[in-house]
Amino acid sequence: MRANLMQPHLHTSTLADGREILYFDEVARPHTETDTRPLTPRSLEDTGEVRYDALHDEWIAVAAHRGNRTYLPPADQCPLCPSQPGRPSEIPASEYDVVVFENRFPSLGPAVGIVPPSQGWGSSSTGFGRCEVVAFTSEHEGSFGTLSVDRAHTVLQALAQRTKALSALPGIKQVFPFENRGKDIGVTLPHPHGQIYAYPYVTPRAQSMGLAALKHFDQTGTVLLADLLRAESESGERVIAQGEHFTAFVPFAARWPLEVQVVPHRQVADLSELSEAEMAELAPMYLDLLRRFDAIYDSPTPYISAWHQAPLDARLRPVSRLNLQITSPRRAADKLKFLAGSEAAMGAFISDTTPENIAQALRSAGDRLAATPANSPTHQEQSA
């Protein structure tokens, strides 16, 4: 492990079409490589649009160009692997630790700006924003859960840096880092990676959570997630892990067959506000939770890992707290939960299990991991 988990070395460059690429290295590298691909220079005019859905009071991104994005390429054509002689990729370097670059097929952007208030039905605007890809490792196989603690820390530092930088762009209202893992979730690139979306509006989920937090604050004078954390900690029935700075628990009203929430013990708006001590605790706790997800069954578990960060809205930000939500639709070794009528059409979830059973399954998975010898194949696969 690197001494004191130092800040990664940051190097910024551009790809052949003008997109920005950032290297977050644990050991300083010069990165003098250039992207030699014959790519057409990107134009800000290629930005899509957002349309206002008056029926639901929501913005919808329209990005028809994403239909041509890369889909499950063979390993020797992976765009996230390091470039090799005769095989250039999205990452010009021949080796790297963590890399962030602008998505070649963005849902929002590359132009940034302010989306004007809607004027009702028929309102539309340029699809301002920014979408970035985060490559966790140069290794093609694996997932976030198979990273070392050092590497997980580097990824978290990269997400924090990007959160701060993207939040400062014109018109950005919310920054959302996330990871989709597994074909059953819809992943189109198997190489371990995540994404970051910088939205020009507050998303429906963040708006709903923010308004609930605002209502709670107006009624009680306290932060909603702080009160929920206190209640879960006092109950202990659904707590999975608890440290000095974070607690991981299954929510009292969990929607998914597998669901965990990780909440900081102090009021923190986003990843960029975490202290070094908090980062140092968060990395191994995050890895432990993902390994528990994989240890429940005899094959890797698909999941969505979502960083809920406070919106850049003056009303909602003070009452919103950073939290990580990890969910999986896997309800049995060979079964997935699909959103049917009630969930998909009405947004009214029906759980097939109890949050208490989910918590017990994850605690038992952790016990099995702890009891597995460190040099066994199973342990190495889950914690490499």
Q: What pTM did the predictor assign? A: 0.94
Same fold, 3-201 and 206-383: yes
- Contact assessment for residue 130 and residue 112, using Cβ atoms and an 8 Å cutoff: yes
Domain coordinates of the chain in residue numbers? 3-201, 206-383
Residue 2 pLDDT = 47
**Residues known to be catalytic:** 193
Q: Is omega for the bond preceding 110 within 30 degrees of 0, making it cis? A: yes
Residue 375 pLDDT = 52
- What is the three-state SS of 291-337? HHHHHCCCCCCCEEEEEECCCCCCCCHHHCCCEEEEEECEEECCEEC
Q: Name the nearest CA neighbour of 187 among 131, 130, 133, 146.
A: 133
Q: Name the nearest CA neighbour of 95 among 79, 84, 104.
A: 84
Residue 381 pLDDT = 46
Residue 75 pLDDT = 85
Residue 226 pLDDT = 98
Whether residue 212 is predicted with pLDDT greater than 80 in this model: the reply is yes
More confident: 384 or 202: 202
The interaxial angle of helices 204-220 and 224-235, nearest 10 deg, is: 80
What is the CATH T-level fold of the domain 206-383, as seen in this structure?
HIT family, subunit A (3.30.428)
pLDDT in tens, 305-346: 999 999 999 999 999 999 999 999 999 999 999 988 999 999
pLDDT in tens, 59-73: 999 988 776 677 778
Stretch 231-251: mean pLDDT? 98
Residue 152 pLDDT = 98
What is the CATH T-level fold of the domain 3-201, as seen in this structure?
HIT family, subunit A (3.30.428)
* Cα–Cα distance, 279 to 245 (Å, whole number): 9
| Banded pLDDT at 372 (limits 50, 70, 90) | confident
pLDDT in tens, 125-147: 999 999 999 999 999 998 999 99
Stretch 181-210: mean pLDDT? 94
